[in-house]
Amino acid sequence: MGIAIVVTSGKGGVGKTTTSANVGTGLAISGKSVVLVDADIGLRNLDVVMGLENRIVYDLVDVVQGYCRLKQALIRDKRYENLCLLPAAQTKDKTAVSPDQMKTLVDELKQEFDYVIVDCPAGIEQGFKNAIIGADEAIVVTTPEVSAVRDADRVIGLLEAEEIKEPKLILNRIRPAMVKRGDMMDIDDVLDILAIKLLGVVPDDDSIVVSTNRGEPAVTQNGSKAGQAYRNIVRRIMGENVPLMSLSVPDEGLFGRLKRLLVGER
Amino acid sequence: MDFFLRLFGKEGSSKNIAKERLRLVLVHDRASVSPQVMQSFREEIIGVISKYLDIDTQRMEVDLTNEEDAVALTASIPVRSVRRGL
């Protein structure tokens, strides 16, 4: 019997899909059998982030409505044969699936896979309710911005009301140089506000854009800092105690500050 | 002046502004308590106060209100009499 983990955030654009793709792929690299479920019906994206968009025949709504068997809709990853994707429907809307149907589906997937990773849509309406109903655990993704942290707080409250115990936080897109200058909230600041356990910190990294362009999750790339952060997160999910990676930056010095002020660079 | 403060790395940090704003906004967000919780809250308050005072529960009002920069618990509890022998 596997574990279902929902990846959620409240706010859009903070990196839920990227996190789902990297965590799922990372778990598969570690030898676990994994299915990624795109619960964002009407706005599917996990397929393109995984580079599997050309292989879709059936989708989640087809399965739920009985147009195909579950096995027919699962797309096997090109690199890791123990990794599958269940794509969302693109032409339907969130009401095409009920929470009960979603729960049945996730329970069925848990029989087949070690991990069921559910990529939740933004918002807290029906799509959110569908995504969390079958989940045993939750990962809340946020960035160090007031809007994202505020929405994360709301989502944590809703998860706890649904008795998904102890959601864990991924702090995404942290920029160490800005943290050092005191212009970005740090890990401790965000944990202090949200009062939940930390699963990991992912630095803002150009390699995420490049890997998304290619449809190959950064976790597969050894040179990527964000990829390393995701590999650490995966090990923590599997129960290992892995220290946070160092994100320190050298002092920019007087010249660096002068340049930043004059040129206005970040 | 501001330029020189920043040049020497002494700029006022915007993260503290962010934290302070978040702290306040979350107090407001989290204060949206459900009616059921408010009801049991009210009943427990009545229980405690009734040990000491005879109060008019019909005219009692308990509410969380949003002030400018804080959330306040406001209770208006008419007292009928003070219990003897306390």
Which ipTM score applies to this complex?
Answer: 0.80
Distance between A257 CA and the closest CA of chain B, angstroms: 6
Residue span of the structural domain in which B39 resides: 34-86
Copy the structure tokens of residue A38: 């795109």
Give the total number of structural domains in chain B: 1
Q: Which residues of A touch B14 (CB under 8 A)?
A: 182-183
Smallest Cβ distance to B6: which of A153, A154, A257? Answer: A257
Q: Is B25 exposed, middle or buried (0-12, 13-18, 19+ CB in 10 A)?
A: middle
The verdict on A256 touching B (C-beta cutoff 8 Å) is: no
Instruction: Give the model's pLDDT for residue B11.
Output: 52
- What is the Cβ-side half-sphere exposure of residue A73, based on CA atoms within 13 angstroms? 23
Helix A146-161 × helix A187-194 angle, to 10° = 40
Residue B66 confidence class, pLDDT cut points 50, 70, 90: low
CB atoms A261 and B23 under 8 Å: no
Residue (of B18, B12, B2, B16) closest to A261 by Cα position: B2
Terminal CA-CA length for chain A: 48
Residue B4 lies in a domain: no
DSSP states of A168-216 as a string? EEEEEEE-HHHHHHT-S--HHHHHHHH--EEEEEEE--HHHHHHHHHT-
The pLDDT of residue B65 is above 60: yes
**Which tops the pLDDT comparison, A215 or B35?**
A215
Positions of chain A with pLDDT lower than 70, given as ranges: 250-253, 260-261, 263-266
The verdict on B13 touching A (C-beta cutoff 8 Å) is: yes
Phi/psi for A97 (5° steps) reads: -125, 140
Q: Domain limits of chain A?
A: 3-263
Q: Which residues of B touch A145 (CB under 8 A)?
A: 18
Instruction: Give the model's pLDDT for residue B3.
Output: 58
Query: Mean pLDDT in chain B?
Result: 79
The verdict on B22 touching A (C-beta cutoff 8 Å) is: yes
Residue B81 lies in a domain: yes
Instruction: Give the model's pLDDT for residue A128.
Output: 96
Instruction: Give the model's pLDDT for residue B40.
Output: 85
The pLDDT of residue B63 is above 90: no
CB atoms B8 and A258 under 8 Å: no
Cβ neighbours of residue A65 under 8 Å, at least 6 residues apart?
A: A96
Helix A206-214 × helix A225-237 angle, to 10° = 80
Q: Which residues of B touch A254 (CB under 8 A)?
A: 7-8
Distance CA B62, CA B45 (A): 9
**Quick one: CA dihedral A185, A189, A195, A199, positive or negative?**
positive
CB atoms B22 and A150 under 8 Å: yes
Burial A109-141 (b: 16+ CB within 10 A, else e): bbeebbbbbbbbbbbbebbbbbbbbbbebbbbb
Range of lowest pLDDT (A25-29, A70-74, B25-29, B54-58): B25-29
Copy the structure tokens of residue A109: 């997937």
Instruction: Give the model's pLDDT for residue A178.
Output: 94
Residue B38 lies in a domain: yes
Instruction: Give the model's pLDDT for residue A266.
Output: 47
Residue (of A1, A6, A2) closest to A133 by Cα position: A6
Instruction: Give the model's pLDDT for residue B86.
Output: 59
CB atoms A257 and B29 under 8 Å: no
Instruction: Look at phi and psi of residue A166 and say left if phi exceeds 0, alpha if psi is from -120 to 50, else beta.
Output: left
Smallest Cβ distance to B19: which of A181, A185, A254? Answer: A185
Helix (H, G, I), strand (E, B) or coil at A9: coil
pLDDT tens across A182-219, in order?
Answer: 999 999 999 999 999 999 999 999 999 999 999 999 99
**Which tops the pLDDT comparison, A54 or B33?**
A54
User: CATH number for the A3-263 domain, one of 3.90.600.10, 3.40.50.300, 3.20.20.70, 3.90.1200.10?
Assistant: 3.40.50.300
pLDDT tens across B68-83, in order?
Answer: 666 778 888 999 888 7
Residue (of A212, A197, A156) closest to A6 by Cα position: A156
Instruction: Give the model's pLDDT for residue B85.
Output: 66
Instruction: Give the model's pLDDT for residue A64.
Output: 95
